[in-house]
Structure 1
Amino acid sequence: MKQFRGALLLTITALIWGTAFVAQSLGMDHLGPFAFNGVRNFIAALALLPVLLFMQRKAPKKTQTDEERKQSRKTLWVGGVLCGSALAVASNLQQFGISFTTVGKAGFLTALYIVIVPILGLFLKKRVPATVWVSVVIAAAGTYLLSVQEGFTIAPGDLLVILCALGFSVHILIIDHFSPMVNGVALSCVQFFVCGILCTAAALFTETFTLADILKSAGPLLFTGLMSSGVGYTLQILGQKDTPPAVASLIMSLESVFAALSGWLVLGQSMNGRELLGCVLVFAAVILAQIPLEALKKEKAVKKTA
Structure 2
Amino acid sequence: MMKKYKYYIFLVLAALIWGFAFVAQRVGMKYIAPFAYNGIRFALGAFSLLPIMFFQNKSFNEKKSVNKKRYFVYGAIAGILLFAGSTLQQIGLIHTEAGKAGFITDLYIVIVPMMGIVVVKDKIKASSIIGALVAAVGLYFLCVNKKFSISQSDFLVFASAFFFAVHILFIDYVSQKINSLKLAFLQYFTCSLISLVISFIMEKISIQNILSSSIPIIYGGVFSVGIAYTLQIVGQKGVEPTSASIILSLESVFAALGGFLILNERLEEKAIVGCILMFLGIIISQIKINYTGKSKITINHNK
After superposition, what is the alpha-carbon deviation per residue over 1:34-67, rounded to whole angstroms, capped at 9, x for unaligned?
A: 00000000110111101100011x43977x7xxx
* Residues paired across the two proteins, number: 284
Tell me the residue number matched to 1:90: 85
Could you say what secondary structure the match of 1:20 adopts?
A: helix
After superposition, what is the alpha-carbon deviation per residue over 1:185-226, rounded to whole angstroms, capped at 9, x for unaligned?
A: 222111111111110011011011122221121111100111
- Asked if 1 retains the 8 angstrom alpha-carbon contact of 2:107 and 2:135, the reply is no
Tell me the residue number matched to 1:169: 165
Quote how far apart the aligned CAs of 1:177 are: 1.2
- Asked if 2 retains the 8 angstrom alpha-carbon contact of 1:108 and 1:148, the reply is no
Identity in percent: 40
Tell me the residue number matched to 2:59: 59
Quote how far apart the aligned CAs of 1:287 are: 4.6
- Asked if 2 retains the 8 angstrom alpha-carbon contact of 1:142 and 1:280, the reply is yes
Quote how far apart the aligned CAs of 1:167 are: 1.2
Could you say what secondary structure the match of 1:19 adopts?
A: helix
Tell me the residue number matched to 2:39: 38
CA distance in 1, matches of 2:23, 2:249: 18
Relative to structure 1, the CA distance from residue 190 to residue 238 in structure 2 (aligned partners, 3 Å threshold; closer, same or farther) is farther
Residue 185 of structure 2: which of 175, 180, 189 is its match? 189
- Asked if 1 retains the 8 angstrom alpha-carbon contact of 2:110 and 2:131, the reply is no
Taking structure 1 as the reference length, the TM-score comes to 0.75
CA distance in 2, matches of 1:7, 1:140: 28
Residue 256 of structure 2: which of 246, 257, 260 is its match? 260
Of the structure 1 ranges 33-42 and 235-244, higher mean CA displacement relative to structure 2 is found in 235-244
Relative to structure 1, the CA distance from residue 249 to residue 93 in structure 2 (aligned partners, 3 Å threshold; closer, same or farther) is farther
CA distance in 1, matches of 2:80, 2:261: 35
CA distance in 2, matches of 1:218, 1:204: 18
Residue 222 of structure 1: which of 215, 218, 224 is its match? 218
CA distance in 2, matches of 1:201, 1:219: 23
1:120 and 2:115 matched? yes
CA distance in 2, matches of 1:38, 1:250: 29
Report the aligned-residue RMSD: 3.8
CA distance in 2, matches of 1:14, 1:26: 19
Residue 153 of structure 1: which of 143, 149, 154 is its match? 149
Of the structure 1 ranges 195-204 and 161-170, higher mean CA displacement relative to structure 2 is found in 161-170
CA distance in 2, matches of 1:69, 1:115: 35
CA distance in 1, matches of 2:60, 2:49: 20
Quote how far apart the aligned CAs of 1:258 are: 1.7
CA distance in 1, matches of 2:209, 2:217: 11
After superposition, what is the alpha-carbon deviation per residue over 1:120-176, rounded to whole angstroms, capped at 9, x for unaligned?
A: 21112122322232223334444655x448435144444433332221111111111
Relative to structure 1, the CA distance from residue 61 to residue 76 in structure 2 (aligned partners, 3 Å threshold; closer, same or farther) is closer
CA distance in 2, matches of 1:47, 1:208: 26
Tell me the residue number matched to 1:80: 75
CA distance in 1, matches of 2:222, 2:46: 9
Quote how far apart the aligned CAs of 1:238 are: 7.3
- Asked if 2 retains the 8 angstrom alpha-carbon contact of 1:90 and 1:167, the reply is yes
Could you say what secondary structure the match of 1:117 adopts?
A: helix
Quote how far apart the aligned CAs of 1:85 are: 0.9
Relative to structure 1, the CA distance from residue 279 to residue 160 in structure 2 (aligned partners, 3 Å threshold; closer, same or farther) is closer
Relative to structure 1, the CA distance from residue 85 to residue 234 in structure 2 (aligned partners, 3 Å threshold; closer, same or farther) is farther
CA distance in 1, matches of 2:14, 2:185: 16
Quote how far apart the aligned CAs of 1:101 are: 5.4
Relative to structure 1, the CA distance from residue 157 to residue 136 in structure 2 (aligned partners, 3 Å threshold; closer, same or farther) is same
Could you say what secondary structure the match of 2:177 adopts?
A: coil
Relative to structure 1, the CA distance from residue 212 to residue 223 in structure 2 (aligned partners, 3 Å threshold; closer, same or farther) is same
CA distance in 2, matches of 1:238, 1:121: 26
Quote how far apart the aligned CAs of 1:251 are: 5.6
Which has a greater percent of helix? 1
- Aligned-partner residue type, residue 55 of structure 1: Q
Relative to structure 1, the CA distance from residue 234 to residue 6 in structure 2 (aligned partners, 3 Å threshold; closer, same or farther) is same
Which structure has the bigger radius of gyration? 1
In structure 1, stretches of 5+ residues that fail to align are 295-306
Could you say what secondary structure the match of 2:56 adopts?
A: helix
